[in-house]
Amino acid sequence: MSRAEIEMLRRRAARRIPSHVVDYVAATADGVAEAEAGRWDAVELRPTALRGGAGPTLATTVLGTSVDHPLLVAPMAQQVAAHPDGEAATGRAVASSGSLLGVSTNTAIPFARIAEQGAPWWFQTYVLAERELTYVLAERAASAGASAILLTVELTALRVPAHVEPVNWPEGRARARLANLTADERARIEGRPTTAPGLDEIARLREATGLPVVVKGVLRGDDARRAVDAGAAGVLVSTHGHRRMAGSVLVPDALCEVVDAVGADAEVYVDGGIRDGRHALAALALGARAVFVGRPVWWALAAGGAEGVGALLDGLAEELRTAMAQSGVSSADEAHALRLARVPRRQAPDSR
């Protein structure tokens, strides 16, 4: 699927969905909507030749789960605003395409219904201000069939008002916990976030769920190293869709540092700005195991439901196959081993 076709999906989605929802999905920390995509455009590919062999192979594994291609779907909120079936529709498309689904902690679709679609899925969680509910919800996801936990660390802790009961909280247990909060506890939940998550959350989530934990939002090699040493099975290089902060490092630059730090010991993934097959190949060539696609999936869901998402994923996969063939490599591992891509130094802004 071409960049022009993805732009058409965005425009169709904007016509169908309320403007405040469209604005929420598009928002970034500095108002630059496609900063990450622009940086992927700048990555230089270095094609190789004279290697023979058959056509490119896209199939791979992520934490032991087989997928037909390395284009995964990022966890995103507001999917029911894009389509009434939300993650259920997205899940059907993901299953058909042979990919993997990330499920947001803010999903409005029950875990059981998402699992029924047949796609493998990972559950994304924040460390909630009422911390014990973090583990209740993660346990619930594990029981419903999630195969990994995506621990998001690139934003401050999510505040959950005491009167809110997310759809996937176990009946009774979370409700009773909230009912028993003291006035001071309620004030803490409603008034301010907790401190940022620490390394101990990795082990706590592993113990609570029995699942591998991938730390989402790592932008530095030293943080990636500490996460893996603390038990993380992988790290996801992400700026939360360029929402974390204005002026932060962009994901292609951060990816190189993280891969150098932990790529031999843990799986590394990336999201942010992936808009075509060439972007995906650049990420794989720089050392990512797989890439997560976010906003284009949301636009496709809003514009065409499950069929739209399926067409997007299959189109991106075909573009990736073509880019790999043009570059002379037969697999993502070969693309990385041959140093097929390099990231040019960013130019300093003009101070005039």
Catalytic residue among 83, 240, 279, 336: 240
Give ∠ CA 97-272-84 in degrees, rounded to 5: 55
240 is an active site residue: yes
Place of tokens 């270095």: 46
Alpha-carbon distance of 323 to 340, in angstroms, equals 12
Alpha-carbon distance of 293 to 277, in angstroms, equals 11
- Tokens standing for residue 56: 């490119």
Closest CA to 269 of 214, 309, 229, 317: 214
Place of tokens 């108002």: 31
Alpha-carbon distance of 212 to 248, in angstroms, equals 28
Alpha-carbon distance of 116 to 135, in angstroms, equals 23
Alpha-carbon distance of 99 to 141, in angstroms, equals 19
- Tokens standing for residue 88: 């259920």
Q: Which residues are known to be catalytic?
A: 240
